[in-house]
Structure 1
Amino acid sequence: MASLWIINKAGGLVFQSEHFAYPHRANGEPELSSNDYLILAGTLHGIHAIASRIVPAPGKHSQGLEVLEAENLLIHIKMTQTGTKFVLLTHTTHPNPGAILERAYRLYVDHVMKDPFYIAEMPIRIDTFDREIAALLQ
């Protein structure tokens, strides 16, 4: 089980697919609101930008944060050439989160970027993409 977020180059959350058993839900706490997710995505975008600037070796460049690991949580980030970020939240025991991100990126290219009605940097509302991502994450 995993959760996929797509963050545009300005830091806005343009897609979210939740297939993750968050611990706060089991304790009866309220679910996160859409505004909470927007704040989390913006914060992660900022951390990613800061991490790309903090490079200890002079003359070296960084793509930014790629993996963040916490107890029972793994966050993988794939930065595309256009500045779009694919964020995968999963359990630390997930067998291959990198492959899931690559597959999600291919689905994005095939279903979103080739859609003549999609406007870049706007929220993604494409049913075939939703179904493919849901199947990928479950």
Structure 2
Amino acid sequence: MTTLVNVTVGSLVEDVASIDWAKSDGLKTIRLLSMTPPTSHAFMEEQYKNVKLTIPAGSLAAYQEDGVWKSFLNMEEKESTGIGNVETADGKDISVEDGTIVVENAEGNISVYNMAGQLVKSVNANGGRMKMSLPRHGIYIVKAGSLAVKVVL
């Protein structure tokens, strides 16, 4: 099984069908930032019962009409301010804003890997705020020092 626990899907993502949700037995929350439900394969029955689905305010009707997403019992509308930040004790911060990866307070090499483990981007950070655009939407691992975060663009 996988270690997906909390997943955030960016507002520009239209399709998450490549994710095998059935292998994510520890899944607890899915935060969807798009007003339009992304295309997806079905989830396991336990996931429909136990996973908390957070969707943008004003999108409830669209998700309740969607063939896959409507089955979630714990669905909540919430104002979206973008993906939640992941911050470490040393102040490193990795987030997603408007379809770009944002890294703050990190120095040295920042690496971005696709889900096949291939390096897709590598840059040097100077400790400030840095935005990185990638040519394709998808799921990536962003590594800054000892911090590694999974992001969805």
TM (norm. structure 1) is 0.28
Relative to total residues, which structure has the larger helix share, 1 or 2?
Answer: 1
Relative to total residues, which structure has the larger strand share, 1 or 2?
Answer: 2
TM (norm. structure 2) is 0.27
